[in-house]
Amino acid sequence: MSDLEFLLFLLPSILALFLIFNNVIKINRNTPNLPPGNMGWPFIGETIGYLKPYSATTIGDFMEQHISKYGKIYKSHLFGEPTVVSADAGLNKFILQNEGRLFECSYPRSIGGILGKWSMLVLVGDMHTDMRIISLNFLSNARLKSHLLPEVENQTLLVLSSWQDDSTFCAQDEAKKFTFNLMAKHIMSLDPGKPETEQLKKEYITFMKGVVSPPLNLPGTAYRKALKSRSTILKFIEEKMEERIWKLGEGSENVEEDDLLGWVLKHSNLSKEQILDLVLSLLFAGHETSSVAIALAIYFLQGCPRAVQQLKEEHRKIARAKKKSGETELNWEDYKKMEFTQCVINETLRFGNVVRFLHRKAIKDVQYRGVESAASGFSRASGPFAF
């Protein structure tokens, strides 16, 4: 290859880098009150460091180092876009209080590509509201009492029965197994331990690894594998959906109506693509947050024997009352008596980092205590906490 051919070969890449740097320079010129920070490498920015795994009881080395150097509000370049990162409670509260007016939910394109364009995490406006209403209507108080609560108890007993005396276990793995089985049963009536359920779980684990990985769609990367697993999961859900539709058309009485898939098919006008993304997004949201919260509760409790004792007393009191009345299964009244249990849950969510970050996009030019976030350019606010 001659020098001229080599130069022509590199020219597109050189032009692309020039446009990226030119865009960054324009952004800085047009937005003079940006917080301090570091834009990192071209294109990838600081995404790799931002996504580096860390303990859920901390905010991670990346956040600690940047907060120490730049303060609780700083600029960066994450997921291919210029970003304002906030660990400031006041700004985070301001953002959430002005959602729909100054800010809107907006996740990076890489995350949207995995979760789907109809996922509730990436939808905004009326469509997000419609999807949310569908989910809330399914999870009515009556359904929580009659279906979800008994199923939570069944799945809990199933996990506890698998533990051997004087054995050790990984709290996070057991919490993930419990929550996945619960969500799979609640969403598609899949029974734990069955080959199809275990295969779906395997694909889901691969899918999840890609959601929190650098968005590099290259062979062998976690992101590419996640996209492939997403296709496999959606194909599985679609087959289940077509099976339900066929049964409904045949007038079969053996159609599952107690799970989300059956309920959506009978009580909504969503398209096939919308239903697929809704089911996947609820499986993702319900599994991830709940499993982390359960594992964190176990972690925090081992350091507070007094709280463990109070929990035992509360539940033993309920158990004695159940035995006296001749009842065996938990009901809604029992749940409402678990007041200290609710306190433990609240403290777990307060101390633990259940959600790594939230993304919001400025839809108008915004100033907060001298810090500017423009509707064009640095338009994202990313918080590391579930605030």
pLDDT for 347 beyond 90: yes
- Structural tokens at position 315: 């539940």
Residue type present at position 353: N
Residue type present at position 22: N
Please state, in angstroms and as integers, the Cα–Cα distance from residue 53 to each residue in 9, 121, 177, following that order: 37, 22, 21
pLDDT for 200 beyond 80: yes
Burial of 158 (0-12, 13-18, 19+ CB in 10 A): middle
Per-residue buried b or exposed e for 174-192, using 16+ beta carbons within 10 Å of the residue's own CB? bbbbbbbbbbbbbbbbbeb
pLDDT for 23 beyond 60: no
Taken in order 325, 327, 328, 331, is the CA torsion positive or negative?
negative
Least confident stretch, 69-73, 112-116, 200-204, 237-241: 112-116
Angle (CA) 114-24-214 rounded to 5° is 25
Quick check: pTM over 0.85? no
pLDDT for 301 beyond 70: yes
pLDDT for 368 beyond 90: no
Please state, in angstroms and as integers, the Cα–Cα distance from residue 322 to each residue in 286, 381, 382, following that order: 30, 49, 47
> What does the alpha-carbon distance between residue 123 and residue 102 come to, in Å, rounded to a whole number?
16
Those residues with Cβ within 8 angstroms of residue 221's Cβ, 6 or more apart along the chain or in another chain = 213, 214
Please state, in angstroms and as integers, the Cα–Cα distance from residue 352 to each residue in 3, 172, 292, following that order: 57, 14, 9
Higher pLDDT, 208 or 236: 236
pLDDT at site 282: 84
pLDDT at site 228: 92
pLDDT at site 384: 46
> What does the alpha-carbon distance between residue 23 and residue 27 come to, in Å, rounded to a whole number?
6
87 touches 65 (CB < 8 A): no
pLDDT at site 318: 93
pLDDT for 110 beyond 80: no
CA atoms within 13 A on the CB side of 352: 22
